[in-house]
Amino acid sequence: MNAYDAASWLLLVVSLPTKSATARMRVWRALKAAGCAALRDGAYLLPGDPARQETLRQLGEECRSEGGNAWLLAVQPLQGDEEAVFRQLFDRSEDYETLRRNWKDTSATLGSLAAAELLRLQRKLQREYEAVRSIDFFPGEASVEAQAAWAELCARISRRLSPDEPRDTSGGVPRLQATAYQGRTWATRRRPWVDRLASAWLIRRFIDPHARFIWLEQPSDCPEQALGFDFDGATFTHVGERVTFETLMAAFGLEGDAALMRLAALVHVLDVGGEPVPEAPGFEAVLAGARERLTDDDTLLDEMGHVLDSLYAHFEGQGARTGN
């Protein structure tokens, strides 16, 4: 067993020439971003971890390249109570409390922001939140409380972007035949956001090519003969953890299409959260911009339908290249 294997902690000791003010500031910012605790000026502690070891090694190299010195050590506390003292240096409770106060203040301003502004604000706040989470090496109650507060803020933003979002229903999704759903009238709430718009695209592209869409002012306006989707009481809506797009895929046997499953993951994360999808922020930004420009929902569907066509082709091409 080598020294690193036996060590719980990493200690970087650095010194830089006093004339290198810019380099000192750059290194200090990097140490702070990495989550280091300063034991004293020039001595920085991190919990042991291969990735963090590499981060500190690179910072040490930068110090030496600026004419300074750096020593990276693997260390262990010799007494049990010292371990607790070390861990306490990484308590992020105050950081989370600052975030939560900011989120509370932000909530009061949501009603005055347009969709594009809301999305920019949410992305900014998420970057700040992720920056704290990435250096919360010993998460505790403050982390749990912050996670709940963040989920609530995201839900409020989602309600602003997509009012009257349907509640989940329980139960399974019955398998249906697309041949029985041709040339139908489909209805959902006006000013579609991600799930409603993607569901309309899915219907027209894979279920009912001659579908006609009605954009409702409120769900109670839905005609009896229309197939409602993505509102409470609709024929197709959220079921369990599935968003409406995923419910439609399950109902019409489309889950074997790998490219559509990639799109479903994108719709899911933008509608209710979940594992990040690299293409999701770009699609969200394009949709927000299109909604700002276009007041007619049929035109919005046509324009964003081309974007979804392109994403689908992209995912299909990736599958072909990887042999999936």
The predicted pLDDT at position 1 comes to 33
* Domain boundary assignment for the chain: 3-88, 93-161, 178-322
The pLDDT value recorded for residue 16 is 87
Q: In what order do the strands lie in the sheet with 185-189?
A: 212-216, 185-189, 227-228
Residue with tokens 């290249």: 321
What is the predicted pLDDT for the residue at 169? 58
CATH topology of domain 3-88: Alpha-Beta Plaits (3.30.70)
Instruction: Round to whole Å and give the CA distance between 267 and 283.
Output: 10
pLDDT, tens digit (0-9, with 9 covering 90-100), for 172-198:
788 899 999 999 999 999 999 999 999
Which whole number is the average pLDDT over 13-26?
A: 86
Q: Which pair of structure tokens corresponds to residue 240? A: 């369990």
Other C-beta atoms within 10 Å of 105: how many? 9
CB 30 within 8 A of CB 14: no
**Under a CB-based contact definition with an 8 Å cutoff, are residues 73 and 44 in contact?**
no
- Residue 300: pLDDT over 70: yes
263 and 273 Cβ atoms separated by less than 8 Å: no
Each residue's pLDDT tens digit, 198-225: 999 999 999 999 999 999 998 889 998 9
Pairing of strands 185-189, 212-216: parallel
Q: How far is CA 247 from CA 33, 107, 182, 229, 293, in A?
A: 41, 31, 18, 10, 30
